[in-house]
Structure 1
Amino acid sequence: MRHLIYILWIAMFSHCSDSGNENQNALTASKGSSTSSNTDALARRPTYPSYNTSPLPPDPNGMPSNATQLAAKINFGWNLGNSLEAIGGETNWGNPKTTQALIDRVKASGFNAVRIPCSWDQYANQTTAQLPAAWLDRVKEVVQYCVNDGLYVILNIHWDGGWLDNNINTQAQASVNAKQKAFWEQIATKMRDFDEHVLFASANEPPVNDATQMSILLSYHQTFINAVRSTGGHNTYRVLVVQGPSTDIGKTSTLMNTLPSDPTANRMMVEVHYYNPWQFCGLTADANWGNMFYYWGNGYHSTTDPSRNATWGEEDNVITDFQKMKAKFVNNGIPVVLGEYGAIRRLSLSGDALTLHLASRAYWDKYITQQAKVNGLLPFYWDEGSLGDNGFGIINRQNNTVGDQQALNAIISGGQ
């Protein structure tokens, strides 16, 4: 479902304390492959050169917080969506180039963290996996904008053309791991001087449906951790984020019974996303498996348009889902990042229907944020820059103002 969601986004908008080792060991003790047209090419790809060319001794300065302590410093976050991960270039999915003024607005709006979805493979030399210096410089510049404002940053490898997501299978496993190693050695080395305000995330929404694929995904996460730690310096202590299967809470609860091994204790978080019910949050046309919902939540159902009221995925489901993550990870010293959540606005409605829908959407934003905080999840709202019909956006990137005050107020209220 998560992979389906991402494809729908692309069609819609082009995305669219140190006792943690014992806790992680306790988690480990509790306990159909996807294919792609380029799998054979991946399997034949030669070993890339090592890009860990300047490893440093461990440097704990500026890195005092373990994952739980760092999580306590993050209130609620915002996604710089459809920008640095845009295929074809930073502005290719409809947003202007990211500036310090935009990040200043994000901070002024109340967020204290930014997730930066990022593409790398489209810029890489496909023979050597070398990343261009200019792109590494640009990404570092945007990260610096956030750090300048005292914001926490999660920098990831996003869908990125699917080089990882489309190849969670045994045939491509060795070559995907080789590219994961090469990319993260370069990214980690470039970003190494940042202090604990910067976190790295292994992937985005890796589609996994069974234990075999889960094992392969864990190997990709292990390669990520090994590559980052190998560069040393601040990266020895940096908090790292690994994604649950499909970043789906149900699958993560069921399949993610082992975490990668980390030589640095207590510096790991798990990531999931939340767009439930999808019929309310993102579905833009009735489907054979279900129809669009316009109204969600207790007190926000329509009496005049009852066929569009949510029939599942309401408050009780949110509580149940988030409590699963709290019980499995948070209570065991492993913070959980709610890396994306959001619901589209349906501006094709009018009159009382539109008013009720927008109020319902704001209630969803508030409730998800609130329940995330109650259960120890770190909420990062998905903003892809669109303020129009079917858009998620809150910040107007054309003039660096708040474009949806109602939604912003809801998130702030939920995060308090």
Structure 2
Amino acid sequence: MRLGAIAVAAVTALTAGLLGVVSAHAEKPTAPPDHAVTAMEQVAAMQPGWNVGNTLDALGGETAWGNPLITEELLQTIKANGYNSIRLPVSWDEHTGPAPDYTIDPAWLDRVEQVVDWAIANDLQVMVNQHDQMWTKALPDDRENVLAKFTSMWTQIAERFKDHPSELSFESINEPQFPTDEANKDAHTAELNVAFYEAVRATGGKNSDRLLVLPTWVTNSEQPHLDALKATIDELDDDMIAATVHFYGFYPFGVNVAGVTTYDEATQQDLENTFQRTNDTFVDNGVPVIVGEWGVLGYDYTRGTVPNSPQYGELLKFFQATAHQAVEEQLTLMLWDAGSYLNRHTLEWRDPLLKAYMDSGFTTLSGTASFDSIYLEKAGTIADESLTLNRNGLDFEGLWQGDTALTEGADYTVSGDTLTLTAAALTRLAGDRAYGTNATIEARFSDGLPWAIHIITYDKAQLSDASGTMDGAPWSQWWACNSSCFAIPTEFNGDQVATMEAKYADGTNAGPHAWTAFKEFWWTYRPDYDAGTISLTPDFFNEVRDDEPVTLTFHFWGGGTIDYTITKSGTTVTGTSA
């Protein structure tokens, strides 16, 4: 997040202190189990877990999707950072020969085994899966061949690892889905799960009672799919089975669409309801649950380099709340990391503060506030500004700027949960009122992490007229905007975009996500605060009608809105400021 030089320095200093706070309150990691533990105990000992994503599951080779080769040093780093398990997604299909034997390349098995052995040697449990599910989608139409291949592959994998210790577990398949027969998707999922179970157990050895992990359809956590998986597990009647689902939060919040820009009540309720019904279905009935992937899609797309995907402070709230709720409902979390969180090249966390909030959630729900910024309009007179404290059961202990405590009464007041900074304090903190972050203070509580509050000076942004051509090529959310995007020249003047609406003249919604006027951040529009542009993507224009003006309304965190009109005619686009 671009907070300005002062804020970056403040956050860096804050993070250094936070890591010490988290370490002081973290419980000693549970040692990996011996072979005699129950499934519930083994899964509990896996908390928390980490995905080695987009690596052995990458199509085209281990480094094809941008991550370096897995090393033992990487796994040692993961262990040193408090993780007790890894999920090892593996794509087997492109390393498998033709029918009828479907022989897996021994060299590929060797490589997977090498990584598994490194993990176990470094006190990490490891869960190996069949990650590339694309070919299994054909199950409804080619049942005999799909099951023959699936069974053969799992038999070979299980044979290779039959003598490995119980710290190794197997997961049937990643996100099974069957687009040609949606009506029977739970039944098809059950068929794959049972075929996996029977193939692995039949190999004997330590596979006779190894922990096996079964997913719901597409790892969905809606009640009908939870119930379907529970029925399968009941029929198998095996004590060493766990269930798995995935969780990326309330979708509108996770990708910043439909105007959900904060960790609001709907987002919180979605988290609590999802984890509670998963607990009620499985954990309360003796079946452990692994949330095999979790995170935030918008952050994963941008690797945290673009503010407000979602908004940074709201992102911190979500991450710590998810960890906290998982502990409450006895669910083991495994962070999906395809390179977004840990930089695999440097073995450093891209955002140590975010990591600190994740860690904190497992032990302490830290105090926060209604927002992490106070915006002061440069052209206006500075007045008192208030935020609402979210104490989360903790005591508020005051405000600090670095090592200096602010003075209650003169600098701020507290009435109930309302924290008010005085005009005098804000004037001092704003300094020369240059655009951007002028100062960062922190609210401290009796436990957990302090909450950063950024004092930001801004003026209303200015958007300029523009024209250009579009090549119509699809634009990937993973790539930077290039000549295929339409750039609106923008003077942000210290403010930042919260969201964007798009409507035709008759008031109907324009662009993708026709069910809402508020478009998806990053996928359809992308602000670049360094370049001074807001870019609209081909994915937006591909669903905009020709020769019909569209009014874009940009909402800014400073509180204002700006209208801008764009018209597409073939490959030509014109933009006009209001």
**Counterpart in the other structure of 2:110:** 137
**Counterpart in the other structure of 1:378:** 332
1:196 and 2:196 aligned: no
**Counterpart in the other structure of 1:173:** 143
Q: Distance in 2 between matches of 1:247 and 1:261?
A: 18
Q: CA deviation at 1:296?
A: 2.0
Aligned partner (choices 281, 288, 294) of residue 254 of structure 2: 281
Secondary structure at the residue paired with 2:126? Answer: strand
- Code of the aligned partner of 2:135: W
**Counterpart in the other structure of 2:291:** 338
Secondary structure at the residue paired with 1:317? Answer: helix
Alignment of 1:350-365 (within 5 A): 357-365=311-319
Check whether the contact 1:222–1:261 (CA below 8 A) recurs between aligned residues. Answer: no
Q: 1:69 to 1:179 in 2, by over 3 A?
A: same
Q: Deviations over 1:33-90 (max 9, x none)?
A: xxxxxxxxxxxxxxxxxxxxxxxxxxxx952122112122122111100000000000
Q: Distance in 2 between matches of 1:138 and 1:168?
A: 29
RMSD over aligned Cα atoms:
2.3
Alignment of 1:107-118 (within 5 A): 107-118=79-90
Q: 1:211 to 1:323 in 2, by over 3 A?
A: farther
Q: Distance in 2 between matches of 1:99 and 1:198?
A: 18
Higher strand share: 2
Q: 1:92 to 1:63 in 2, by over 3 A?
A: same
Check whether the contact 1:297–1:364 (CA below 8 A) recurs between aligned residues. Answer: no
Q: Deviations over 1:112-133 (max 9, x none)?
A: 1100111001111023310011
Q: Deviations over 1:302-339 (max 9, x none)?
A: xxxxxxxxxx4x11221111111111111111111100
Check whether the contact 1:222–1:260 (CA below 8 A) recurs between aligned residues. Answer: no
Q: 1:349 to 1:120 in 2, by over 3 A?
A: closer
Aligned partner (choices 367, 382, 407) of residue 321 of structure 2: 367
Secondary structure at the residue paired with 1:153? Answer: strand
Q: CA deviation at 1:293?
A: 4.4
Aligned partner (choices 60, 69, 72) of residue 97 of structure 1: 69
Q: Deviations over 1:351-371 (max 9, x none)?
A: xx68x9222112211111111
Structure 2 unaligned blocks of 5 or more:
1-32, 364-578
1:126 and 2:98 aligned: yes
Secondary structure at the residue paired with 1:258? Answer: helix
Alignment of 1:256-275 (within 5 A): 256-260=229-233, 265-275=238-248
Check whether the contact 2:139–2:147 (CA below 8 A) recurs between aligned residues. Answer: no
Say which one has the larger Rg. 2
Check whether the contact 1:173–1:216 (CA below 8 A) recurs between aligned residues. Answer: no
Q: 1:245 to 1:96 in 2, by over 3 A?
A: same
Q: Distance in 2 between matches of 1:323 and 1:348?
A: 33
1:406 and 2:359 aligned: no
**Counterpart in the other structure of 2:557:** none
Structure 1 unaligned blocks of 5 or more:
1-60, 284-289, 299-311, 386-392
Q: Distance in 2 between matches of 1:95 and 1:236?
A: 35
Q: Deviations over 1:375-399 (max 9, x none)?
A: 11110011011xxxxxxx2211002
Q: CA deviation at 1:257?
A: 4.6
Q: TM-score, normalised by structure 1?
A: 0.73
Secondary structure at the residue paired with 2:311? Answer: helix
Aligned length: 323
Q: CA deviation at 1:404?
A: 1.9
Q: Distance in 2 between matches of 1:295 and 1:316?
A: 13
Alignment of 1:280-299 (within 5 A): 280-282=253-255, 290-291=257-258, 293-297=260-264
Higher helix share: 1
Q: Distance in 2 between matches of 1:242 and 1:211?
A: 20
Q: Distance in 2 between matches of 1:92 and 1:234?
A: 34
Q: Deviations over 1:235-275 (max 9, x none)?
A: 00100000011111115235435115787731001110011
Q: Distance in 1 between matches of 2:306 and 2:292?
A: 29
**Counterpart in the other structure of 1:249:** 221
Q: CA deviation at 1:174?
A: 2.1
Q: Distance in 1 between matches of 2:217 and 2:49?
A: 22
Aligned partner (choices 218, 232, 237) of residue 190 of structure 2: 218
Q: TM-score, normalised by structure 2?
A: 0.53
Q: 1:193 to 1:156 in 2, by over 3 A?
A: same
**Counterpart in the other structure of 1:328:** 281
Secondary structure at the residue paired with 2:291? Answer: strand
